[in-house]
Amino acid sequence: MPIEILMPALSPTMNEGNLVKWHKQEGQSVKAGEVLAEFETDKATMEVEAVDEGTLGKILVPAGTQGVKVNAVIAVLLREGEDKSALAVAPPAASAPAAALPIAVPMAPAPTQARAALPPAVGGGRIAASPLARRLAAQAGIDLAAIKGSGPRGRIVKADVESAPRSPAPAVVVRSEAGDGLPAHRLVPHSTMRKVIARRLTESKQTIPHFYLSIDCRIDALLKMRAELNGRSDEKKADNSYKLSVNDFVIKAAALALRKVPAANASWSDAGTLLYDVVDISVAVAIPGGLITPILKNADHKGLAAIANEMKALAARAREGKLMPEEFQGGTFSISNLGMYGIRDFAAVINPPQGCILAVGAGEMRPVVKDNALAIATVMSCTLSVDHRAVDGAVGAEFLAAFKKLIEDPIAMLL
C-alpha cells in the first residue's frame, strides 16, 4: 500500500505552513535522506528530507500552496514493486489520518540562492520569485510585477526586493464611499508571522498575570570597560575579533543574576512551577514584518566576546529567515532592548511560556546624588515583567538587585 506523505510540523506550535517547492517530481525515485520539498513557516524557510524510499507516485498539494494544515496528506509514495494502479486508493489532499506516519524530517533552512530557478512567470501568470523575496515584498508592500529579477532566468531574489523603491502596497480605498465611516486607508494583509505574534501576545496578556518592577543602573563603569575591551580586539585575527555592545553586557549580567537567583529562572505549568537548570536567554530581534527571539544558550557559561559574536551571528540569520526552530523556540528568560531607539523605559509583554522578560532602555545622562552631592551619571532604566503565578515580587526584586550590582560593577562578570 502506498505511503502517505504528510505536511510536517516544523515546530511545536506550528498549525500550518506554505509548501514552497517540490524537489522531486512525480515518477522520480526517492531515497532516504534526499531533500523532498521546501516549506515556509512563519519565521523560516526549511528543507525537508525523506525518511522512506520509493517512487513519488502523486503530488496532491502543488508547490506554491499557502496555509497547508499540519498532517494533511500532500503526496503519495509508491513502495518497491507498486505501480500507479495503487494510487486508486490514495486519499484526497485534505485528509489527515491520525494513524498515518510522516515521511519527512526538517533539515537546515534553505539558502535563497540554492533554490532551483523558475521561469519569470508560470501557469496563471505567477511571477517567479524566491520564498524570501515574496515574504519581504509582501511585508514592504512592494508589487513583484514591478521588479526586474536578477536571478536565473529573471527570478526575483532578496537583493532585488531590498533595492526596489518602496511604494504603497494595496491601493488606497476611500472608505467614506463604502459607508462604513472609516477614513481613506491601505489594507495590508497579515503575514503568517504577524498572525502568530498577535495570537501569542494576546494569549500572554489575557492569561498571564503580569506585574512590573523597575530599576535604574549607572553604567559609566560599564561603558569605560566596554571601550577598553573593544580596544583589545584583534581585528586581524578572526578568533580574537569582537565588538562588544551594551546589550552583550546586559545578557551576561542577566544570565549571572539568574544563576544567583534561580527562582527567577522559572515558568508556570498546570502541573507545577518549572525551575530551569540551564540559563538560555531569548533576545528580541527586529526583522521585516515583526520580531523573533533567537536564543543564546548557556549564556551564564559564556564570556562577553563569545556572547557578542554568537549574538551577531544569530541576529544576522534571523533577519535572513535562516534560523532553525530550536534556535528561536524555547529559552528560559527574555531580554528586549529598545535603548538604541532612544526609548528611556518601557514594559515588555512576557514571551510565553517563560516567566520573565527584561525591558532595557537607553543609557542617558541624568542628575544623581553621589556622596551626598549632586552629580551627573549615565543611567539605564530596566523594567522586569513578571508572571506572578511563577515568580513572586520578592524574587523579582532580588533578581534585579543582583542584575544592578553586576551592571554597575562589570568587572564582577569576568571573575
Lateral strand order in the sheet of 333-337 = 210-218, 373-387, 356-370, 333-337, 281-283, 295-296
Whether residues 323 and 241 fall in one domain: yes
Domain that holds residue 50: 3-110
Find residue 144's DSSP bridge partners: none
Whether residues 102 and 125 fall in one domain: no
Whether residues 218 and 74 fall in one domain: no
Question: Minimum mean pLDDT among 192-206, 277-291, 332-346, 369-383: which range?
Answer: 192-206
Our answer to whether residue 210 is catalytic in this structure is: no
Q: Say if 155 falls within a structural domain.
A: yes
How far is it, in rounded angstroms, from Cα 317 to Cα 131? 16
Q: What is the reported pLDDT for 13?
A: 64
Q: Say if 196 falls within a structural domain.
A: no
How far is it, in rounded angstroms, from Cα 266 to Cα 126? 48
Whether residues 241 and 333 fall in one domain: yes
Name residue 240's amino acid.
Answer: N
8 A C-beta contact, residue 8 and residue 70: yes
Q: Say if 202 falls within a structural domain.
A: no
As a whole number, mean pLDDT of residues 161-188 equals 62
Which entry of 23, 190, 301, 388 is annotated as an active-site residue? Answer: 388
Interval 125-149: pLDDT, tens: 467 777 677 767 766 667 777 788 8
Whether residues 240 and 382 fall in one domain: yes
Which class for 87: exposed (0-12), middle (13-18), buried (19 or more C-beta within 10 A)? middle
As a whole number, mean pLDDT of residues 37-48 equals 74
Whether residues 88 and 134 fall in one domain: no
Whether residues 89 and 137 fall in one domain: no
Q: Say if 387 falls within a structural domain.
A: yes
**Helix (H) / strand (E) containing 370:** strand 356-370
Whether residues 40 and 131 fall in one domain: no
Q: What is the reported pLDDT for 12?
A: 60
Q: Say if 281 falls within a structural domain.
A: yes
Whether residues 213 and 329 fall in one domain: yes
Which class for 276: exposed (0-12), middle (13-18), buried (19 or more C-beta within 10 A)? middle
For residue 152, pLDDT beyond 80: no
Interval 52-95: pLDDT, tens: 788 888 899 998 888 888 888 898 888 887 877 777 655 554 44
How far is it, in rounded angstroms, from Cα 332 to Cα 335? 11
For residue 293, pLDDT beyond 90: yes
Question: Minimum mean pLDDT among 13-17, 202-206, 216-220: which range?
Answer: 13-17
Number of domains in the chain: 3
For residue 168, pLDDT beyond 80: no
8 A C-beta contact, residue 330 and residue 353: no
Q: What is the reported pLDDT for 43?
A: 61
Most confident stretch, 47-51, 109-113, 372-376? 372-376
Which of 83, 110, 137 represents a domain boundary (last residue)? 110
Whether residues 221 and 286 fall in one domain: yes
Q: What percent of the chain has pLDDT over 70?
A: 82
Interval 334-391: pLDDT, tens: 999 999 999 999 999 999 999 999 999 999 999 999 889 999 999 999 999 999 999 9
Query: First and final CA of the chain: distance in angstroms?
Result: 64
Whether residues 156 and 280 fall in one domain: no
pTM: 0.65
CB atoms within 10 A of CB 342: 9
Whether residues 143 and 97 fall in one domain: no
Question: Minimum mean pLDDT among 59-68, 177-186, 268-277, 402-411: which range?
Answer: 177-186
Question: Minimum mean pLDDT among 11-15, 118-122, 145-149, 332-336: which range?
Answer: 118-122
How far is it, in rounded angstroms, from Cα 101 to Cα 109? 23
Give the confidence band of 411 by pLDDT, cuts at 50, 70, 90. Answer: very high
CATH of the domain at 34: 2.40.50.100
